[in-house]
């Protein structure tokens, strides 16, 4: 039995996009605008679902971007948040981004995390999660965010992750609506209901 290595490439448009955007984002809105722009570019380039995320250090320097690669990489795990977490841990060379709680990295997610990414945030070592569109906005175009606990915000905060919601929500939600309007694939687990 031969097993493949686990190997994924980021979309080819990302380096050019970073060249243009730069990698320093002074304010929280700047950082969210960047995450939303990633989601829009992912739709425009047809490289995955309409989701973008990014991890920044305490001063606003980009550590790693993330986009949803589910349909193009054939991997249900590669949501935008998880792509950003894996890249950040690879760049930093450690599995705990916060290095024992001493460093304050923030994850900006253009849409609130699904149940899997909620769990991935918990394990990642980021100290702050900032969200744009709400889960309901993803639900409105047919994406299932899964059985996330109702108290997911307080559950993260109890474990030391500060959560901020609704930053540029309308701008972020418009990407979701545009994806659906352009006939983008709404993939969900294929179980009969």
Task: Give catalytic residue positions.
Answer: 81
| The token pair that represents 13 in the structure block | 């448009």
Restricting to residues 124-183, which ones interact with a second copy according to CB under 8 A? 124-125, 127, 146-149, 151-152, 155-156, 158-161
3-state secondary structure of 172: helix
Asked whether position 99 contacts a second copy by CB under 8 A, the answer is: yes
User: Is 77 buried (19+), middle (13-18) or exposed (0-12) by CB count in 10 A?
Assistant: middle
Restricting to residues 102-131, which ones interact with a second copy according to CB under 8 A? 102, 114-120, 122-125, 127
Which range binds a second copy by CB under 8 A, 4-12, 38-46, 133-141, 163-171? 4-12
Q: How far apart are CA 135 and CA 116, in angstroms?
A: 13
Q: Which of 13, 44, 57, 87 binds a second copy (CB under 8 A)?
A: 87
Q: How far apart are CA 51 and CA 95, in angstroms?
A: 23
Nearer to a second copy, 28 or 146 (CB): 146
């Amino acid at each position: 039995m031969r097993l493949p290595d686990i190997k994924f490439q980021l979309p080819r448009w990302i380096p050019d996009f970073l060249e243009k955007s730069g990698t320093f984002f002074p304010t929280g809105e700047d950082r969210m605008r960047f995450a939303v722009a990633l989601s829009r570019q992912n739709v425009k380039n047809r490289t995955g679902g309409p989701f973008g995320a990014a991890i920044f250090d305490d001063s606003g320097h980009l550590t790693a971007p993330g986009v949803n690669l589910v349909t193009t990489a054939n991997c249900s795990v590669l949501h935008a948040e998880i792509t950003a977490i894996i890249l950040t841990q690879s760049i930093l060379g450690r599995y705990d981004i916060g290095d024992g709680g001493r460093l304050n990295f923030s994850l900006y997610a253009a849409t609130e995390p699904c149940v899997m990414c909620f769990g991935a945030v918990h394990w990642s070592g980021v100290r702050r999660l900032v969200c744009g569109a709400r889960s309901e906005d993803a639900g409105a175009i047919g994406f299932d965010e899964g059985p996330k606990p109702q108290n997911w915000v307080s559950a993260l905060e109890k474990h030391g992750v500060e959560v901020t919601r609704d930053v540029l929500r309308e701008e972020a939600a418009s990407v979701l609506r545009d994806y659906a309007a352009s006939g983008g694939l709404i993939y969900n687990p294929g179980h009969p209901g």
